[in-house]
């Protein structure tokens, strides 16, 4: 990649704005001077956009103000002209109904921001769950030189002598409180410890998964996704990212060069090896749609069945991201599975994946397991099909109790999330550990936004009896930090008339993860009879973004992107300057 021709200043995308001797360029140059910059500070230099998802309600990105300055330092040092542009931050904690509902909006904002401004390259500052896929989707649609800066995981933390995993231990201790084994005072005390620094969740949740995928696909600097947010090397990594963006601009290296069928296979392989989040399936399907790369759920399952889980990381394993960093990082982990990867795939550093992981060391054999002693031989994630999910659904077997991976039990059906909250803990329901808890209308349109409700609560009276897992089925997602025998992303969803909508209390459901099957044990005739009396619920929105979302969002098996964005947007021309 280093041998490719370099652009001249006149060939830069920004030259149209600043170079010509005309009225419009006069205006552009004068406004830069209005901001205090001298001509020589921006003339004939690549303009490098820094898309910053910082805001006061996204604590995962609390350090991004300083990191933007670190990035700028690198841009200046490499001879570029940095411009910071704030974009929507998707706070997993605070956004309702769910940040996933707004992923496509940030993707659109990213795309249009890159398209409208005089940018020669862009640095995408993301980390918290949906920011990473959203920004990568938008960048691929415009396809100007882009590099991702991972926000980094938060620091290790502990409580009462026990190490904590963000997200994962929230669910664990919430269940303990429900079972009467944790006091209200202790629960409140936990609030002070569960998230102890800036950075995204330090478990292998969706944030850690998606940044690892970005690195595996070559979209950020090698080694960058494992660096903790508060580590001094994170600041240095940010500066190096800024410097590299300038070179990407001169060499015109674009995201399309990294988002190939081979790199998607690498991403899926890494996803399985790290024991990553089920949410990555939805995001990779959407990203593949933007890149016009054919990708199906079957490809995920094919790769899953031949990829060992070597990352001993919570929630499926024992450790957190700081432990992975100390043990050799993602590079050490990928080196362990190098024979399963397409090593010729390029990266933004100008090397290949093979070169990036060559000689990578592993310093802790329990955090990054050897192939001879994996956390699981295969099937980090499994794709299931059957009459309950004709278009597929997913489960994370290592995060479930093994005896539930083959199960048959009666359904206990909840029509929506309010119904679930109102009745799940009522002893009069008479649920047993053998029941299959079913939640309807929690999908892309039914909720809306396919929220992370999929780790359905276990009734308190069963928790008190010592039950710690049950088979649970929904068209929702679950947090990457969650765990349990949770069948997710059922497609088609119940809101659009998928078979999940017609499950009734007492229906027998059979789950066979090894056989990749999920079946509702009723006849085709009975299913057709139930469907004949069904009426689709009304669209919940009559205007604005909600209306657009309802009219355009695809199902989970297709990535929940907007239909009109499933194409290579780089074919659209840059706006005219008139």
State the virtual CA torsion across 81, 85, 90, 95 in degrees, nearest 10. 160
User: Could you tell me the two tokens for 229?
Assistant: 């947010």
- In this prediction, residue 282 carries a pLDDT of 99
* 8 A C-beta contact, residue 327 and residue 368: yes
Sign of CA dihedral 117, 122, 123, 126: positive
Q: How many other C-beta atoms can be found within 10 angstroms of the C-beta atom of residue 189?
A: 12
DSSP secondary-structure letter at 448?
T
Share of the chain above pLDDT 90, in %: 95
Sheet with 471-474, edge to edge strand ranges: 389-395, 382-386, 517-520, 508-512, 406-414, 436-439, 471-474, 486-487
The answer on pLDDT for 553 being more than 50 is yes
Report yes or no: 383 and 517 within 8 Å, Cβ to Cβ: no
149 and 185 share one domain = no
Q: For residue 508, what are the CA distances in angstroms to 58, 200, 383, 406?
A: 43, 40, 20, 13
- Same-domain status, 304 and 393: no
pLDDT digit string, tens, across residues 239-253: 999 999 999 999 999
Helix (H) or strand (E) segment spanning residue 508: strand 508-512
- Asked if the structure places residue 561 within a domain, the reply is no
Query: What is the structure's pLDDT at 1?
Result: 44
The alpha carbon of 505 is separated from its chain's Cα centroid by a whole number of angstroms, namely: 34
Task: Give the percent of the chain with pLDDT over 70.
Answer: 100
- What is the sign, positive or negative, of the torsion defined by CA atoms of 81, 46, 134, 561? positive
Number of domains within the chain: 3
Mean pLDDT of 264-291: 98
Same-domain status, 145 and 203: yes
Do 408 and 510 touch, CB atoms closer than 8 A? yes
Instruction: Write down the pLDDT at residue 567.
Output: 83
- The conformation of residue 494, written as its DSSP 8-state character, comes to G
Q: Give which of 124, 480, 473, 540 is closest to 283, Cα–Cα.
A: 480
| Max CA separation in the chain (angstroms) | 80
- Are 237 and 295 in contact, with CB atoms under 8 Å apart? no
pLDDT attached to residue 577: 87
Q: Is residue 553 part of a domain?
A: no
Nearest of 156, 100, 89, 99 to residue 126 by alpha carbon: 89
- Yes or no: say if 491 and 457 are a contact pair by the CB < 8 Å rule: no
Q: What is the pLDDT of residues 310-321, one digit of tens each?
A: 999 999 999 999
Model confidence band, residue 540 (pLDDT cutoffs 50, 70, 90): confident
38 and 147 share a domain? yes
Asked if residue 558 belongs to a domain, the reply is no
Q: Which residues contact 526 (CB under 8 A, 6 or more apart)?
A: none
pTM of the model: 0.97
Contact 80, 47 (CB under 8 A): yes
Residues 257 and 404 in one domain: no
434 lies in the same domain as 316? no
Residue 450 located in a structural domain:
yes
Same domain membership, residue 217 and residue 141: yes
pLDDT at 2 over 80: no
Same domain, 428 and 490: yes
Q: Which of 170, 196, 222 is the last residue of a domain?
A: 196
Same domain, 262 and 395: no
Supply the range of the domain harboring residue 449: 383-532
**Kindly report the CA angle at 420 between 419 and 424, in degrees rounded to 5?**
120
User: Model confidence over 144-176: pLDDT tens digits?
Assistant: 999 999 999 999 999 999 999 999 999 999 999
**ω into 97 cis (within 30 of 0):** yes
**297/282 Cα distance (integer angstroms):** 9
Q: pLDDT value at position 573?
A: 81
> Last residue of a domain, which of 532, 549, 566?
532
pLDDT tier at 334 (50, 70, 90 boundaries)? Answer: very high
Residue 272 lies in a domain: yes
Q: How confident is the model at residue 191 (pLDDT cuts 50, 70, 90)?
A: very high
In this prediction, residues 463-471 reach a mean pLDDT of: 96
Distance CA 58, CA 90 (A): 7
Cα–Cα distance measured from residue 31 to residue 33, given in angstroms and rounded to the nearest whole number: 5
Q: Is 60 a domain residue?
A: yes
Please indicate, yes or no, whether residues 171 and 244 belong to a single structural domain of this protein.
no
Q: Which CATH number covers residue 521?
A: 3.50.30.80
SS3 527: helix
Say if residue 189's pLDDT is above 50: yes
64 and 81 together in one domain: yes
Across the chain, mean pLDDT equals 97
Does some domain include residue 550? no
Same domain, 189 and 209: no
Q: Is 578 helix (H, G, I), strand (E, B) or coil?
A: coil
Distance CA 396, CA 381 (A): 5
Mean pLDDT of 64-84: 99
């Amino acid at each position: 990649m280093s041998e490719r021709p370099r652009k001249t200043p006149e060939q830069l995308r920004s030259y149209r704005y600043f170079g010509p001797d005309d009225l419009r360029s006069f205006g552009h140059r004068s406004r830069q001077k209005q901001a205090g910059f001298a001509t020589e500070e921006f003339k004939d230099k690549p303009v490098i956009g820094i898309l910053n998802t910082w805001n006061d309600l996204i604590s995962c990105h609390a350090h991004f103000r300083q990191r933007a300055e670190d990035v700028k330092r690198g841009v200046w040092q490499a001879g570029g002209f940095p411009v910071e542009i704030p974009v929507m931050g998707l706070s997993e904690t605070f956004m309702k109904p769910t940040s996933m509902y707004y992923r496509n909006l940030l993707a659109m904002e990213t795309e249009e921001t890159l398209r409208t401004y005089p940018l020669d390259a862009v640095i995408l500052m993301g980390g918290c769950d949906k920011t990473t896929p959203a920004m990568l989707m938008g960048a691929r649609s415009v396809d100007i030189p882009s590099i991702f800066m991972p926000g980094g995981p938060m620091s290790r933390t502990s409580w009462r002598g026990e190490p904590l995993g963000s997200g994962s231990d929230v669910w664990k201790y919430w269940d303990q409180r429900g079972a009467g084994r944790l006091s209200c005072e202790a629960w409140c005390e936990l609030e002070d410890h569960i998230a102890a620094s800036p950075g995204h969740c330090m478990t292998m949740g969706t944030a850690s998964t998606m940044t690892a995928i970005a690195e595996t696909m070559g979209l950020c600097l090698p080694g960058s996704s494992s660096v903790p947010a508060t580590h001094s090397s994170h600041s240095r990594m940010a500066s190096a990212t800024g410097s590299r963006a300038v070179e990407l601009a001169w060499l015109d290296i674009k995201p399309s060069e990294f988002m190939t069928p081979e790199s998607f296979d690498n991403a899926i392989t890494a996803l399985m090896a790290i024991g990553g989040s089920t949410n990555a399936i939805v995001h990779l399907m959407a990203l593949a749609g933007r890149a016009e790369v054919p990708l199906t759920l079957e490809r995920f399952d094919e790769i899953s069945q031949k990829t060992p889980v070597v990352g001993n990381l919570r929630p499926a394993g024992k450790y957190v991201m700081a432990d992975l960093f100390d043990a050799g990082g993602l590079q050490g982990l990928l080196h362990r599975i190098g024979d399963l990867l397409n090593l010729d795939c390029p990266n933004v550093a100008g090397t290949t994946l093979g070169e990036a992981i060559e000689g990578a060391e592993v310093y802790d054999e329990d955090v990054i397991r050897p192939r001879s002693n994996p956390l699981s031989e295969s099937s980090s994630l499994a794709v299931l099909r059957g009459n309950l999910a004709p278009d597929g659904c997913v489960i994370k077997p290592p995060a479930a109790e093994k005896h539930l991976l083959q199960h048959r039990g009666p359904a206990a059906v909840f029509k929506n999330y309010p119904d679930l909250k109102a009745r799940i803990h009522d002893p009069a329901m008479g649920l047993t550990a053998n029941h299959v808890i079913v939640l309807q209308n929690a999908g892309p349109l039914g909720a809306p936004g396919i929220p992370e409700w999929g780790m359905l609560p276990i009734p308190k009276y069963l928790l008190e009896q010592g039950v710690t897992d049950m088979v649970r089925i929904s068209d929702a997602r679950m947090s990457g930090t969650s765990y349990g025998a949770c069948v997710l992303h059922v497609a088609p969803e119940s809101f659009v008339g998928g078979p999940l909508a017609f499950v009734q209390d007492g229906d027998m459901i059979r789950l066979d993860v090894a056989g990749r099957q999920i079946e509702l044990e009723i006849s085709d005739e009975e299913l057709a009879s139930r469907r004949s009396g069904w009426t689709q619920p009304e669209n919940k929105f009559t205007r604005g973004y909600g209306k657009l979302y309802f009219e355009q969002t695809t199902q989970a098996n297709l990535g929940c992107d907007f239909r009109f964005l499933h194409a290579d947007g780089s074919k659209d021309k840059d706006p005219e300057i008139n």
